[in-house]
Amino acid sequence: MLHLKSQAHTFALNFHSKTDPMLDKTDFEVIIVGGSYAGLSAAMALGRSLRNTLIIDANKPCNRQTPHSHNFLTQDGKTPREISQVAKEQVAEYPSIRFYDGFATAGQKIDNGFAIQTDAGDSFSAKKLIFATGITDLMPDIPGFSDCWGISVIHCPYCHGYEYHGKKTAIMANGERAFHLASLVNNLTTDLSLLTAGEADFTTEQRQKLAQHNIQIFESSVDRIEHEQGRLKEVILKDGSQLALDAVYASIPFRQHSDIPTSLGCKLTEAGHLVVDEWQKTTVEGILACGDNSTPFRSVAKAVASGNFAGAFLNMELTNESF
């Protein structure tokens, strides 16, 4: 058994199915599209139940620019790459799990399951699908913004806030979103500003609370961000104001990283996430989703938890269908 696991480990980590004849392109029980935290967590649950599973992943996680991951027990302060590498090594120990390096580009409903095609022209089939495909952040046309994203221009006080506590901080948002973030970030710093990029949209009561906590409001749009290797120095506004800042929280739009789920009929929420129920099931029978593509709460811990749940639930479904 140890010898078998070692073989599976070596094969999985070095495997490119485009050239390896050992990969059977049919008869998978589950295909997982996306091999970051959520996908690997789902795979571990399935691998421990001996389910024949394929992970299709292009190794381009959305947090690859983030220097360190936080707020995840046992992994606090590790780089995203360190966490995912250990996860891959552990998942690869289960012989029923296979890896494919590439992009999934299309999917179809077929008899007794689904087929997934890749950018290399390969096609794989399975009874069930799990999409752990994440989302793509849509960067504003602000010079310096994307260079700082995930480093000093950040999205979540739980993931990044502690590292910038007591620092000069701003929030790029307006209305309810800005007020909500301000209430959270105010606990981390007393030097806080709001960048509303237009007329501030706050109630009288909200304005009073912001003033009570000495939170300044700047209504001019951001012109550019000055930085050194992603570390903020100044935010320059279009009215010429120059704000020396250490961190900026930004609320930006996103899209689904993969359009395969919607092409198969999976519905989206009004905000743009995949609709899932308490079991991580989408609106299409046989398809589950986990991780950032199906929740507004973006964190490594949440992704791992939802992936574990998706894998366990699919194992139960497969068991009920065959037992």
The C-alpha atoms of residue 276 and residue 258 are separated, in whole angstroms, by 16
Residue 37 shares a structural domain with residue 125: yes
How many other CB atoms sit within 10 Å of the CB of residue 58? 15
Per-residue pLDDT of the chain (323 residues; tens, 9 = 90+): 333 333 333 333 334 433 344 566 667 999 999 999 999 999 999 999 999 999 999 887 666 667 677 767 777 767 778 888 999 999 999 999 999 999 999 999 999 999 999 999 999 999 999 999 999 999 999 999 999 998 999 988 888 889 999 999 999 999 999 999 999 999 999 999 999 999 999 999 999 999 999 999 999 999 999 999 999 999 999 999 999 999 999 989 999 999 999 999 999 999 999 999 999 999 999 999 999 999 998 888 899 999 999 999 999 999 999 99
Instruction: Pick the last residue of a domain from 250, 269, 304.
Output: 250
The C-alpha atoms of residue 100 and residue 168 are separated, in whole angstroms, by 44
How much is the pLDDT for 82?
A: 87
Residue 123 shares a structural domain with residue 33: yes
Residue 221 shares a structural domain with residue 275: no
Residue 93 shares a structural domain with residue 52: yes
Q: Which residues contact residue 225 at a Cβ distance below 8 angstroms, ignoring those fewer than 6 apart?
A: 142, 143, 144, 145, 147, 148, 153, 232, 234, 235, 236, 248
Instruction: Pick the last residue of a domain from 215, 234, 250.
Output: 250
Residue 233 shares a structural domain with residue 268: no
The CA–CA distances, whole Å, from 22 to 6, 29, 94, 201 equal 16, 17, 16, 60
Range of the domain at 170: 145-250
Classify the C-alpha dihedral 281-298-137-206 as positive or negative: positive
Residue 63 shares a structural domain with residue 167: no
How much is the pLDDT for 225?
A: 97
How much is the pLDDT for 63?
A: 63
The C-alpha atoms of residue 209 and residue 212 are separated, in whole angstroms, by 5
**Of the candidates 105, 100, 63, 54, the residue with the CA atom closest to the CA atom of residue 84:** 63
Judge contact between 213 and 135, C-beta under 8 A: no
- CATH code at 296? 3.50.50.60
How much is the pLDDT for 103?
A: 95
Residue 130 shares a structural domain with residue 151: no
Residue 176 shares a structural domain with residue 224: yes
Residue 232 shares a structural domain with residue 153: yes
Structure tokens at 140: 């504003």
Residue 182 shares a structural domain with residue 246: yes
User: What total of structural domains would you count in the chain?
Assistant: 2
35 CB burial (10 A radius; 0-12, 13-18, 19+): buried
How much is the pLDDT for 60?
A: 75
The C-alpha atoms of residue 194 and residue 172 are separated, in whole angstroms, by 6
How much is the pLDDT for 175?
A: 95
Residue 52 shares a structural domain with residue 122: yes
The CA–CA distances, whole Å, from 60 to 63, 81, 103, 147 equal 8, 10, 10, 16
Judge contact between 310 and 53, C-beta under 8 A: no
Classify the C-alpha dihedral 257-263-265-270 as positive or negative: positive
Residue 123 shares a structural domain with residue 110: yes
Instruction: Pick the last residue of a domain from 250, 275, 308.
Output: 250
